[in-house]
Every structure is written in structure tokens, then in C-alpha cells.
Structure 1
Amino acid sequence: MGSIRFDKVDKVFGPKTGGMKVLEGIDLVIGEKEFVAIVGPSGCGKTTCLRMVAGFEAPSAGSVSVNGREITSPGPDRAVVFQQFALFPWKTVRENIDLGLRNKRLPRSERSDRIAGALKLMNLESHAEAFPHQLSGGMQQRVAIARAYVLDPEVLLMDEPFGALDAQTRVVMQEELVRLARRNPRTVLFITHAVEEAVYLADRVAIMTRRPGRIKEVLDVKPVRLAENWDRLARIEDVMDLESFVHLRTQIWRSLREEKGPHGV
């Protein structure tokens, strides 16, 4: 369920000869129910990688597959959470969460049960009949995540989902996502510019070079998290004070700094 594979993937925008090469030779395997974050300089192709898994973009060379099936289009086995909440303002929280289920033509009773479960999962039960403009940014993003989870996808694709939030709300949502990932795991590909966020959330962190983006190295965070028992600490700031966390964060920053070029980091 939900393994992702990039096999020698190139991506060129425009003509193959003379176009802009964004990705080169991407090889990466994300295991079932593994949480992998990708970090890298601006313009290195992080979001392009995610869009290819989603089926919104096709590789120029190589292949991208889920569970051994090459991706040629979007599908119900993959759900995307964007930086912008993309909620319909004239629909309630419940109705926004229901949209994908309606497209799957599920019976009303099953939709109702799934929506109730998603509302409970994201602590939205008391806001089910609210409209997006009545919610904070963090609450709106909870709705967007609930809308993805309610579809029961094999793969969850998250493109800087907390980038539009203020600092305090972002921390709360990071803690919520950790809770959610432990309670209801999915295969997650997470794109972020924030190194601390990547280390805190992910099992592994893939570091990309500047354009054309390649996988420079992959750091395994999960063994460190388990050995140091990060989960015993309820607050993100306590985890970030740990020597093990600081070491990993510094290692990633040094790797990214080596990539700083005309496109920045």
C-alpha cells in the first residue's frame, strides 16, 4: 500500500532541446506508510516531484510509480494538500469534506460515516456547519487535510501545507500532523523550505541540489527519533532543544548552504 518510486526521472519544461531542465536523474523510493520530506534550494524542482506523483505533470524521461503502477494521470489512490487551503467559501466544513466523496459516488450513509470520522480525527466536530471565512487559517488547513484523509488515499502529497500560516499556528499544525501520522499513518511526500519542520515531521529527509535538481543525499531521521524517544516530548520546542535534533538540522543546513547559487536557497 502506497510505495512511491522515482526511477531515473528527468523533467524539462519547454522543448527537450533548449528547454529548461528542472530535474535530472531523480532516484528515490518511499516505502509504505513512510513519511519523507524533500528540502532544497528554490527552483530545484521539489514541487515538480510532487506534481508528478499526483499525476499533474509527466516526466520527460524515466518513470514515477505508486505500488509498481506507472503514473499517467491523477487517481483516487493519491490526495493532495496545497499551501493555499482551496476551500469552497460558499460550502460548510462538512460540505467541503464531502466533495471528494460525492465524486466517488459513495452511498449517503457511508459518506456520513466517513465525514464524521474525519471531523473527529481533525478535531473539527464543533465546526462542521461553519463556513471557511468563519475559521482561522489553521482551522481551514485542518479542513483541507480532513478532505484528503476522508478519501482514504494510499498516498498523501503535501506541498508546503503550512507555509501560509503564522509562526504559532504553524507549530500547532506541525504537532497535529505528528499526532495524525502516528494515529492514522499514510505514505506521505512532504515538500517544505523549513529544515526544522522536515526534521521534526519526517522519517527521512531528501536533500536536493540546485537546478537541475538531483537527490544529493537522504538522511534517516526515524532511528534517531526512536532512539532518543522524541515522542515523549509533547511540544515541538522541547524536541528542537535536543542535541540529536540540532545535529540533524545543522547537517541539513550545511548541505543546503553548499547548494546556494544564483537561485538562492
Structure 2
Amino acid sequence: MGAIRFDNVGRVYGGKQGSVEALKGVHLDIADKEFMAVVGPSGCGKTTCLRFVAGFDQPTSGTVSVDDVRVTSPGPDRAVVFQQFALMPWKTVRGNIELGLRNNGIARAERDDRIERILALMNLTSYADAFPHQLSGGMQQRVSIARAYVLDPDVLLMDEPFGALDAQTRVVMQEELVRLARRNPRTVMFITHAVEEAVYLADRVAVMARQPGRIKEILDIRSVREAERWDEHEKIEDVMDLESFVHLRTQIWRSLRQEKAMEIA
């Protein structure tokens, strides 16, 4: 199970110029196996919130919990995919995917079984013995996602994972993630600056405000996601063609523009 809860979370940073309140009163519930995208202006605390769930940082006030257990450190129930691929250049695709399993003490036979299944699921089998420098950026990020998924985490934390990719590769990776989430659902907290990406991928979108960072509104877009139809191999109908998709995208853009206008003023 992977339900996430932010309960009145705040974060204050100290410095020579005095303290800065980065986050204040953040309340957010992400249900088990729900895909939650978080968008907001730069500096609003999106990545800080993700780091709280990962256990890399701690709030100054309030609590962050997974399945009602307060998060105080990293754990095998949570896996993180960053914008930068962070692959070991001296290891093959198979070796990079195996690394976390080995660190978690998984027996060799089970490691091999898990690796073969995730290679097949991510269409990486023919690249298993390739090194990162031999792969495109999109393929390297696919390996990063496979490395996270193979750990069988309850929670997958993704911090702008497609931000470094070109536009065409980004669309392909978004489709791959949708396909993967349908076949092997996990609780996902997905940080992005791209509104269209958030609406395309998520069940709900949380819009954050800044100064200090907080949840401004949450939009339920499951109806858009459910309207997209797939057969076994490809989409039959794309959500981006739906009027409801355009309406939600526009609504979120307006909310973010309001934040930017307040920042400039």
C-alpha cells in the first residue's frame, strides 16, 4: 500500500539574511495507486515536497506519512526517478537495473527473474548488455524508470523525469509511462512544470502557489484519463484530442498565470 499524506506541512530555511518560509500549511492526500501530478511556479516547493516523501529532507512543522507511518528516512517502499538519468556509466543496462536489488539483498535467482520481467515490460530486452553512452536520452530515462520499478516500490516519486528530453522523445516517454502505469500501477507523485504533461498523465493535478508554497487547488481529471482508449499495443483515442483535456489545461494555465502576475506585482 502507498497512500501519502501531508498534514499541515511547513518548511523554514535559515540564513544570514534571516529565515525564509518556503512552505506553509501544505495539506495533500494521495490515495494508494493514484497518479498525482504537482505543478506550480519555480520556487514554490514542489521538489521539496517530493524530498519529504522520499525521506531526503524533513519538514519544520507538520508531518509527511506513507500508510500512516511518518517518513523520517529513505526506505525500500519508495523509489525516486530524477530529471538527470544518474546511471552508472561503467555498468550495462542490466547492471544498472540490478544495482538496487543487490543493495537490498535480493537473492540472485529472484534478481534475475525481476530483471528479465522489467526488461520485457519496458521494451529493453535487446539493450540489456548496452552501456549508457550507447543509448539515447529517452532510452537512458527508460532504464532509470526500470531501475525504480524493479524494486517493486509502493510509491514512485518522479521529479521532472522528462524535463531534459527533446519534445518528441518526451511525448514517447509519456506514452510509455501511461502504458506502464496501466499494466503495473503504483502510487505516483509526479513533479512537472509542463501543464499539458500533468493533465495527460495524472488522475489528479495539485496546483501549488508560492510565497510561501502551499496547495492552491486540486483538479480531478480521472474522467479525461478514462476517456482515452487503448488496445493491447496502441492508443485508439488520445486524450489530447478531447475538449475536456483542453478545458482542464486552460484552467490550470490560468491558475498559474495568476501566481506569476502576483509575483511580478
- The aligned residue for residue 240 of structure 1 is 240
Query: How much has 1:231 moved relative to structure 2?
Result: 2.6
> TM-score when scaled to structure 1?
0.95
- Contact 1:80/1:148 (<8 A) preserved: yes
2:101 is aligned to: 101
User: Which residue of the partner structure matches residue 31 of structure 2?
Assistant: 31
Is contact 1:206-1:215 (8 Å) kept?
yes
Query: More displaced, 156-165 or 255-264?
Result: 255-264
Q: Secondary structure at the match of 1:259?
A: helix
Paired residue for 1:211?
211
Q: What residue in structure 2 maps to residue 4 of structure 1? A: 4
* Structure 1 SS opposite 2:260: coil
| 1:141 to partner: Cα distance | 0.3
Match status 1:121 vs 2:121? yes
**Match of 1:136, as an amino acid?**
S
Q: Is the 8 A contact 1:207 1:252 kept in 2?
A: yes
Equivalent position of 1:152 in the other structure? 152
Does the 8 A contact of 2:230 with 2:236 survive in 1? no
Contact 1:42 1:263 in 2 (8 A): no
Q: Aligned partners of 2:236, 2:133: CA distance in 1, in Å?
A: 28
Equivalent residue number for residue 45 of structure 1: 45
Q: 1:133 maps to which residue?
A: 133
How far, CA to CA, are the matches of 2:236 and 2:59 in structure 1? 37
* 1:127-151 deviation per Cα after TM superposition (whole angstroms, max 9, x unaligned): 0000000000000000000000000
Contact 1:171-1:236 within 8 A present in 2 as well: no
- Aligned 8 A contact 1:45 1:211 in 2: no
Note the C-alpha offset of 1:223: 2.5
**Change in CA separation of 1:254 and 1:158 when aligned onto 2, cut-off 3 Å:** same
> How many residues in Structure 1 have an aligned counterpart in Structure 2?
261
**1:6-25 alignment, distance < 5 Å:** 6-14=6-14, 18-25=18-25
Q: Provide the rounded CA distance (Å) in 2 between the counterparts of 1:94 and 1:236.
A: 33
Give the distance between the partners of 1:263 and 1:47, measured in 2 at CA: 19
Instruction: Tell me the alpha carbon deviations over residues 171-230 of structure 1, each in whole angstroms, 9 at most, x when there is no partner.
Output: 00000000001110000000000000000000000000023111000000002332xx22
- Report deviation, 1:237: 9.5
Equivalent-residue separation in structure 1 for 2:247 and 2:68 (angstroms):
35
Quote the residue 2:228 is aligned against.
230
CA RMSD of aligned residues (A): 1.7
Q: Cα 1:161–1:236, aligned 2, differ >3 Å: closer, same or farther? A: farther
Distance 2:263 2:229 in 1: 36
Q: Per the alignment, in what secondary structure is the counterpart of residue 36 of structure 1?
A: strand
- Cα distance 1:263–1:146, how it changes in 2: closer, same or farther (>3 A)? farther
> In the alignment, is the contact (CA less than 8 A) between 2:159 and 2:190 conserved in 1?
yes
**% of aligned pairs identical?**
74
Return closer, same or farther for 1:18/1:231 CA change in 2, 3 Å cut-off: farther
Moved over 2 A (4+): 223-226, 231-239, 261-264
Shift of 1:262: 7.5
Report if aligned partners of 1:158, 1:191 keep a CA contact under 8 Å in 2: yes
Q: Which residue of 1 aligns with 2:112?
A: 112
Q: Please give the secondary structure, in 2, of the residue aligned with 1:206.
A: strand
One-letter identity of the residue aligned with 2:100: G
Gap runs ≥5 in structure 1 = none
Give the distance between the partners of 1:103 and 1:35, measured in 2 at CA. Answer: 27
What amino acid is aligned across from residue 230 of structure 1 in structure 2? E
Shift of 1:105: 1.0
| Contact 1:210-1:261 at 8 Å conserved across structures | no
Aligned to 1:78: 78
| One-letter code aligned to 2:228 | W
Task: Give unpaired runs (5+ residues) of structure 2.
Answer: none
